Structure 1
Amino acid sequence: MARARILNSKLNPSPFLHLISLTPFSSTKKTQKFKKLLLPSTSLSLIVISLLAFFAFSVILLLSTTINIPQTSNLCSVCSPVTPLSSSSASSRVLLASLFSDNSDGTKKPNLSVSEMVPLPAHGIMANLSVEENQFWKQPDNEGYKPCLDFGLGYRRESPGIVTEKRRFLLVVASGGLNQQKNQIVDAVVIARILKAALVVPILKVNFIWGDESEFSDIFDVEHFKMTLQADVRIVTTLPFRHLVSRQSVETQIPFDVSPLWIHTRFSKQINEEGILVLKGLDSKLSKNLPSDLQKLRCKVAFHGLRFAGPIRELGNRLARRMWIEGPYIAIHLRLEKDVWVRTGCQTGLGAHYDADISKERSSKPEYLTGRLNMTYPQRRLAGLCPLNAFEVARLLKGLGAPRDARVYVAGGKPYGGSEALKPLVQEFPNMVTKEILAREGELLPFANRSSALAAIDYIVSLSSDVFLPSHGGNMGRTMQGHRAYSGHRKYIKPNKRMMLPFFDTDEPMSEAEFGAIIRKLHEKSQGQPESRTGKRDRDVIAYPVPECMCKRNSASS
């Protein structure tokens, strides 16, 4: 059935199908005519028929050894959906991947070539723009890196026992915002693999800031999650009844930077004896420096397994197309929410009244303040620990060469200060929109008071932008950095706050041209070029997928 569906498509025919058409089984009439013309004697006929049969057998053997590829083997050839399928070789690769996407029992195998959330194509360079403007829209060179999840032989040998596990279960409670929860879910899969345990679909803790009560299935496609990872770990929707009625201890005391050995030593006995392990407070606790196969698993979960639920994907893609159809656009993750100013210990730039309100709330909730408590606000700002406000983002974009008429999509929660907070950006870039402006009447209504779903919509629209810029570090920025690299090295601008902010504050007279030249120079190496984790300890593979999850392959092997 899979073969029939593919042959009815408009893809160019595979060379393997062409070989099949040359076998004696392809046309009975042609074979009979061939024998009448060229085989006058019975003995000669038998010899030639034997040769033809041998040839057919050889072709079938060649096919079976060539395209019977294990799901966890070389995925480079089926993991680059960004490149248009214009050539016959590309069409053949997709055809072969699709032909073998079904199990014999009728269940679906994960097809990584189509499971990734792929952005809309980047726009080309436009005419009538200045050199600086053209440079701003220019996409970085991917240097030949493509997604490549080559799991090792040892990993694949262990998989059959792990994916059939029915005695040990891991349950993880993920907290925080959407991208923080995504990171914990990624690590939950890895920990389940380390412990050789079945993973229960994670529980999303109610966010105390936004009050979002969404469950996993409200945000992510559960069946896709299970199917994509079925060769790596067993995932179940609910616990067996015997565990539902048993008393469960919850582990919350997990130190930072724990290794697979630590996980195995600390929890193996408990999960073997009790049959279940419940983990909370997992955020960023698992080491960023894991063995290669576990790093690949992280990428597989983040970029393939965690696909958003259907209604979110549908609206997100609809809004992305509305932005994309009118030409290239910039997406900015603007961190101007009230809790961000409280947690970072920074000032809003909106005036004394707003800053006094933030200071009062911070004093009443000192536990919210994160990192370097002994630093003053000016010290924090110059150290790059504060979010850029709308005025600073506007100056940065202008300095980088963004045209005034550029279309700007602003992702993020409701800014503290409302429209007043966005005014400096709108003044410099009047074609600025948010999801609330872009959506039509009633489209966002199903997601009211669901911050994670709204963040997921922002994520989809941002992924398809030609240029992405975060105003502050954080989980969204890091995940978007890696995902844009994984999906074809879409331009990602990482603000160099430490180096550029002194030029924002200088009292020395400086022309816009001089300021722009300085800003472009400071950011020439931080605009989406492939950057490796090699030699950079503690870099997150989700933000830096080279080299574990991306590799260089020549055309012959890819």
Structure 2
Amino acid sequence: MPASQGSDRYITVKSNGGLNQMRTGISDMVAVAHIMNATLVIPQLDRRSFWQDSSKFSDIFDELHFIKALQGDVRIVRELPKELESIPRARKHFTSWSGMGYYQEMTQLWKDYQVCNSCCKIRFTSCNNDLPLDIQRLRCRALYHALHFSPPIEILGKKLVERLRSRGGRYIALHLRYEKDMLSFTGCTYGLTDAESEELRIMRENTNHWKVKVINSTEQRMSGLCPLTPKEVGIFLQALGFPPSTLIYIAAGEIYGGNTHLSELMSRFPNLVFKENLATKEELKAFTNHASQSAALDYIISIESDVFIPTHSGNMARAVEGHRRFLGHRKTITPDRKGLVKLFDRLESGKLREGPPFLYLVQEMHKNWQGAPRKRRGPLPGIKGRARFRTEESFYENPYPECICGPKAHIEQDKSI
């Protein structure tokens, strides 16, 4: 694929969201710059979002490696040339879910402008499935080969993996999304006290960019839209056959309610480990108040784990699953939350007990939910127009087949959907 030669055309980007929103958005903007034959200026990161992280691009990512790794595809510069800083610019919020043709049409911007300011909230359209092979592979090169974390993050991340290995050899990375912001955003209050539920409601009400304010928690849970509680995770892991001695790294921020809610998971799996147990205070000092850098440590440890288990299908879970698939379909167990809730409620009501029949039901439910090779799912049937693209499986959640080589005999249909 020939490199973009856009030496006199520049795209500047403001990247928003958390770590993995930024990573996938930046990777997509690399592809956009290539399609539009433009030079990409190193993206500016969002410092005003919910995470309030003041990190620059070079604080989180290896800037020099990013530029060099993509030099055959896209020209990337650290800053806009001084002589272009004051000239009129095209300010373009690219339309989400737009495909190849849209960005080819956008090259008309270069007739009148040398610089295009963009907001990096891009989702290719037809997009997850219908982009040219060379563009799909460029997205993978950008994400998996070019967008490395900065040396301080990489060094500490690898140290923490080594320390985990020294404790038991093998470990699970559990992305326990039982954090205040997630519970508030999803409106999930099962197992919480009235006071805790009210605290989350107030937080949701006062967070302006969360558009949905009134949420039925019971309906959310029955639809499988709530993260598993620590208690439910303990029951689930035990049913899958993991022994109590299993080493589990908690890849998450502060767990809501702390040990009060963690106690029932710890009673079944006491060998829980957090960053604070693995790293010294001095090592973690540089990451204080830098949520994206801290999340990058969790990302590294999750990628390198023997098993990755996310308790909610958010950006981190999808990104890690896709990266693990890219690295050879490393084992990822995705809980069928909707199916599990029905079993948990039967346990709660006494209609079912934690014995062989329960274990069989859980294991049968998840035999095809463990990251085995399969083709990416297309849009759900019956949905028309642009909305259908939103129901596709994310390219970054499963970059097969474009970015993963393997014999067709290994590809399984996903029977869990």
**Which TM-score applies when normalising by structure 1?**
0.67
Moved over 4 A (4+): 534-537
1:521 aligns with 2:361: no
Q: Greater shift after overlay, 490-499 or 374-383?
A: 374-383
- Give the aligned partner of residue 225 of structure 2: 385
> d(CA) in 2 for partners of 1:288 and 1:224?
26
1:354-401: CA deviation from partner (whole Å, max 9, x where unpaired): 11111122233464155xx78621111111111112111111111111
Q: Greater shift after overlay, 314-323 or 204-213?
A: 204-213
Query: How far off its partner does 1:483 sit?
Result: 1.0
- Give the aligned partner of residue 405 of structure 2: 551
- Give the aligned partner of residue 268 of structure 1: 107
Contact 1:531 1:546 in 2 (8 A): yes
- What is the letter of the counterpart of residue 135 of structure 2? L
1:249-308: CA deviation from partner (whole Å, max 9, x where unpaired): 4323x433111211222x222234211111115143653232221111111111111100
1:169 aligns with 2:169: no
Match of 1:278 among 105, 117, 128: 117
1:192 aligns with 2:46: no
Contact 2:26 2:120 in 1 (8 A): no
Gaps of 5+ in 2: 380-388, 409-417
Match of 2:128 among 279, 288, 292: 288
Match of 1:303 among 126, 129, 144: 144
> d(CA) in 1 for partners of 2:90 and 2:114?
11
Secondary structure of 2:128 counterpart: coil
- Give the aligned partner of residue 413 of structure 2: none
- Give the aligned partner of residue 336 of structure 1: 178
1:550 and 1:259, CA in 2 relative to 1: closer, same or farther beyond 3 A? same
1:490 aligns with 2:344: no
Secondary structure of 1:493 counterpart: coil
Match of 2:158 among 317, 336, 339: 317
- What is the letter of the counterpart of residue 115 of structure 2? I
Q: Which has the larger radius of gyration?
A: 1
Query: How far off its partner does 1:321 sit?
Result: 0.7
**Equivalent pairs, count:** 391
1:491-531: CA deviation from partner (whole Å, max 9, x where unpaired): 10111111121010112132322211111100000101002
> d(CA) in 2 for partners of 1:367 and 1:420?
30
Match of 1:203 among 19, 44, 50: 44
Query: How far off its partner does 1:534 sit?
Result: 6.5
> d(CA) in 1 for partners of 2:214 and 2:54?
35
> d(CA) in 2 for partners of 1:364 and 1:203?
27
1:348 and 1:511, CA in 2 relative to 1: closer, same or farther beyond 3 A? closer
> d(CA) in 1 for partners of 2:91 and 2:194?
45
Secondary structure of 1:184 counterpart: helix
1:451-496: CA deviation from partner (whole Å, max 9, x where unpaired): 1110001111111111100110111111111111111221101111
> d(CA) in 2 for partners of 1:369 and 1:308?
32
Contact 2:136 2:402 in 1 (8 A): yes
Percent identity between matched residues is 36
- Give the aligned partner of residue 187 of structure 2: 345
1:327 aligns with 2:181: no
Match of 1:233 among 74, 81, 85: 74
**Which TM-score applies when normalising by structure 2?**
0.89
Secondary structure of 1:491 counterpart: coil
1:531 aligns with 2:371: no
> d(CA) in 2 for partners of 1:209 and 1:524?
37
1:246 aligns with 2:87: yes
> d(CA) in 2 for partners of 1:288 and 1:171?
24
- Give the aligned partner of residue 509 of structure 1: 352
1:318 and 1:240, CA in 2 relative to 1: closer, same or farther beyond 3 A? same
> d(CA) in 2 for partners of 1:470 and 1:272?
47
Q: CA RMSD of the aligned region, Å?
A: 1.9
> d(CA) in 2 for partners of 1:375 and 1:341?
11
Residues 81-230 of structure 1 correspond to what in structure 2 (within 5 A)? 156=1, 159-160=2-3, 162=4, 164-230=5-71
Contact 2:95 2:122 in 1 (8 A): no
Secondary structure of 2:267 counterpart: helix
> d(CA) in 2 for partners of 1:207 and 1:300?
29
> d(CA) in 2 for partners of 1:364 and 1:534?
36
> d(CA) in 1 for partners of 2:253 and 2:296?
11
> d(CA) in 2 for partners of 1:246 and 1:415?
48
Contact 1:229 1:305 in 2 (8 A): yes
1:443 and 1:348, CA in 2 relative to 1: closer, same or farther beyond 3 A? farther
- Give the aligned partner of residue 287 of structure 2: 447
